Chains A and B, each alone.
Chain A
Amino acid sequence: MSGLLKFITCGSVDDGKSTLIGHILYDSKLLYADQEKALLLDSKVGSRGGEIDYSLLLDGLMAEREQGITIDVAYRYFTTERRSFIVADTPGHEEYTRNMAVGASFANLAVILVDAKQGVLVQTRRHSRICALMGIHHFVFAVNKMDLADYKEERFNEIKKEILTLSEELSLKNIKIIPVSATEGDNVTKRSDRMDWYQDETLMEHLETVDITESENLDDFYLPVQRVCRPNHEFRGFQGQIESGKVKTGQKLYSLPGSESARVERILVGDKEVSEASYGQAVTIQLDREVDVSRGCVLTDNESLPIGKNIKASLLWMDDEPLSAAKNYLIKLGTKRLPAIIKKIEYKVDVNTGEHIKTDRGVKNEILFCEIECSENIVADLFKNHKTLGELILIDRLSHMTSACGVVEHVEGQRKKPYFEKDSIWAEGYIFEEFYFNLEHAFLSKPNSADTTYHVGDAVPIKGDSFHYPEYFDIIDVERSAAILIRGAFIKDIISLTEYEYSGLPVLDERGFALLVTSEKDVDRFFKEYKLLEKDNKVAFVNRWSRFETYRSVVCNDNYWMI
């Protein structure tokens, strides 16, 4: 059993989403007898002239059946011998995009349907973009209605090309393209003998076996506090769900956005006392001393989680009321809820081309990049770093509508200024800082970091007292998932690691240590090992992959007070 898979189906109107899911349920004998009977009865009066209309299994609202469309997300639950599934069938109409986004926020994988007759449409692009925005990492493009395209391989290949272009544009990873017919059942659960040219997995085979284990940064522990539990004067516990990492009794935790720390005295999972708890569990934590912790605080072992008032986020506008800058909203992020204003709309994203368009207003279903100012400091982080601290909704204070959802792409007023920065990409480090050997106390140390942030176009000091770098090299900050390209002692670009390609030039880490990589393969292996890294063997990993002494040297200094 590969565990639970939550997936959505999306795509344009009439691409056959509900029919596809209906067919899976029907084929897999996952219907109860009474449901099957109702389906056959309903189909008789339906639009398919007496043939089974599988979509009727999903479209459960009266208005949906009347109009023959899907308005809201339907959730279905089924289990095969290999896996349990929850599928959210989402509406294709642009009008109901926000309901589609609801499904996307819930899923690990998206099945995007593409009509073989029509190819990739604007709505296909919109949905793919929203899925990517909401953090889905696995995509299946089901090229549907192959029966109406005479099961022709040429047609499939044309559409496959369009899909590959789209997925490149959106930097989608883990994509799979499968030719199917949802009404006829080709390549849905059974391999089609009408498409001999396709020898790969059927849709169901893929869904049953795809590995969705996230290799996200699960290192640090954090828990947004939901409530303080105070049954009596002796007990004060903090309740919430662990969003990443582990917590053990005795461990030191910080309560952010304050600066106090304390050690873990007791951990309860439900009503059972444990010595250790980890990612996903709902816990109650008791600390060994009184610290200021209330709902909305974050308990963490990572003192340097970003804290700020000003964030930049990509929003999906979901309200019929247009977005107006300077209007007051409630923001909900983690377990914190507080007033906020949208200070500025930097641009909107054209769903079709991805182009950034200057604008000062936003309307329903648009993706907007905005600057938001909260009424007080909150703990927030980039969506890609700490998912739960990077998700937000905005609530209209009058209508109480959930006006927008969004993901954090930048937090201003982070405690540490980044060392390198370009838009939402940033890296840490001290590559251009000196190390000195302190003769008095016999240790190697670095004076306090200069308060500098390097940007694209800046010159960098490639030679200092204790380091000497080449003029052309790459810096990889694997923790922050960023790469900096140094060309002729200038910063040529700062890019996300997902876009990094090994150039043959020397590669260093953000500390100025040489990385032992000399080929693309090495780089891939390095990334892979990092992703599998457990907190405890980080030192071994650094020792295995990097060398201090390649570009740095030990210079003695007796001026110990400056250290």
Chain B
Amino acid sequence: MSRLSHLDELEAEAIYIIREVAAECEKPVMLYSIGKDSSVMLRLAMKAFYPEKPPFPFLHVNTTWKFKEMIEFRDKTAKELGIEMLEYINEEGVNNGINPFDHGSSYTDIMKTQALKQALNKYGFTAAFGGGRRDEEKSRAKERIFSFRNASHAWDPKNQRPEMWKLYNTEINKGESIRVFPISNWTETDIWQYIKQEEIPIVPLYFAAERPVVERDGNLIMVDDDRMRLEPGEIPQLKPVRFRTLGCYPLSGGVLSQASTLDEIIEETLSSVESERTSRVIDKDGGGASMEKRKREGYF
């Protein structure tokens, strides 16, 4: 009996989950953040339904502070694959001038968490796929694959529904919804190896290149456009950097790297001594439990 490889097993599990949602949930959507995990999710969705197109739209919650290259990549990908890509921006936040420089953690809340909730309510989605992985963070490590949210999108970590074998319970009341994490059991290394195996296109920011950056609180922040506020004395310098995770450019710390091919990235990931979330500036607000707090409030 030939056993599936580790990656094939993870792929089959994810496809099974994606198909279950399409079959049982009334109005699903796949969240698309343009990052590497989203790229893997998108590929899995394309494979799960082939020759049909995924029977649900994709949703990008745009904070308006994403890297330019990310937005270009998003639009190109959606066009090439012929999928429905929705974009949602919290216009009220934009009108109030909410930005990552002045508003710290309330920026994340308003432009990401609140925006996501508004988008889900606007379209009435009952299930939303996310690319969360359990190896990312301690409270994620505790979350079910099908993670139930009440009508105000809150997660109750102390009272999660049991999830047995692959018999997923998708029953909800009106107003409630489910977050679904098909790649819960993947690690960062699995993601990179799958990207390589499947030749999945990803945003070029993941590969090392000379980029204009400033060093701030130990993070290398890229100056992606002229909205970047420079502190007195800060002068952008060209440095060979790449990004392990992508988000809003003022909040994404790059790492010095020469890794310009997938093999080099995998090599770097395997020997890395820091977990990928250290480069995400937002995680450090509020101590070790900040992710759980945000999730309880409706963040992914």
Contacts and interface: CB of A to CB of B under 8 A. Distances in A.
A191 B8 CA distance: 35
A210 interface: no
B64 interface: no
B116 to A, nearest CB: 22
Contacts of A231: 51-53
Contact of A38 (B160, B161, B167, B288): B288
A241 B158 contact: no
A226 B47 contact: no
Given A35-B275, A280-B8, A392-B167, A99 B288 contact: no
Nearest to A244: B1
Interface string A41-79: 010000000000000001011110100000111111101
B242 to A, nearest CB: 18
Given A38-B288, A102-B162, A271-B46, A230 B52 contact: yes
Interface in A349-401: 388, 391-393, 395, 400-401
A76 to B, nearest CB: 7
Given A4-B6, A86-B185, A400 B288 contact: no
Interface in B150-165: 157-158, 160-165
| B interface residue count range (under 10 / 10 to 19 / 20 to 34 / 35 or more) | 35 or more
A235 interface: yes
A63 B135 CA distance: 20
Interface in A423-457: none
B130 to A, nearest CB: 16
A480 interface: no
Interface in A153-168: none
A282 B16 contact: yes
Interface in B1-51: 1-4, 6, 8-9, 11-12, 15-16, 19-20, 22-24, 46-51
Nearest to B275: A32
Interface stretch (B88-96, B102-110, B136-144): B136-144
Nearest to B190: A77
A77 B185 contact: yes
A318 B161 CA distance: 9
B161 A270 contact: no
Contacts of A3: 3, 6
B8 A281 contact: yes
A77 B133 CA distance: 11
B112 interface: no
A239 interface: yes
A332 B167 contact: yes
Contacts of A268: 50-51
B12 A75 contact: no
| A interface residue count range (under 10 / 10 to 19 / 20 to 34 / 35 or more) | 35 or more
B134 A77 contact: yes
A213 B3 CA distance: 9
A530 interface: no
A229 B52 contact: yes
Interface string A280-305: 11101000000000010000000000
Given A71-B158, A280-B3, A391-B167, A42 B288 contact: yes
A241 B166 CA distance: 11
| Majority-rule SS of A interface residues | mixed
A105 B165 contact: yes
A101 interface: yes
Contacts of B165: 105-106, 388, 391, 405
B191 to A, nearest CB: 12
Given A62-B289, A395-B171, A282 B51 contact: no
Contacts of B22: 227
A295 B23 contact: yes
A278 interface: yes
Given A61-B139, A105-B164, A393-B164, A400 B274 contact: no
Given A271-B46, A400-B173, A402-B161, A226 B3 contact: no
Given A74-B142, A226-B16, A229-B49, A99 B162 contact: yes
Contacts of B16: 226, 241, 282
A299 to B, nearest CB: 15
Contacts of A280: 3-4, 8-9, 12
A69 B165 CA distance: 25
Contacts of B15: 241, 270, 282
Interface string B279-300: 0000000001100110000000
Contacts of B144: 102
Given A226-B23, A231-B52, A391-B164, A32 B273 contact: yes
Given A102-B162, A282-B15, 4 more contacts: A61-B292, A72-B142, A74-B141, A318-B162
25 contacts: A3-B6, A4-B9, A32-B273, A32-B274, A33-B274, A34-B274, A34-B278, A42-B288, A60-B139, A61-B139, A62-B293, A77-B135, A79-B189, A99-B162, A226-B23, A227-B19, A270-B48, A281-B12, A282-B11, A282-B12, A282-B15, A332-B169, A388-B165, A393-B164, A402-B161
Interface of B: 1-4, 6, 8-9, 11-12, 15-16, 19-20, 22-24, 46-53, 134-135, 137-139, 141-142, 144, 157-158, 160-165, 167, 169, 171-173, 184-185, 187, 189, 272-275, 278, 288-289, 292-293
Which 8 residue pairs of A and B lie closest in terms of their CB atoms, listed nearest first? A60-B138, A270-B47, A400-B171, A32-B275, A231-B52, A282-B15, A405-B164, A271-B50
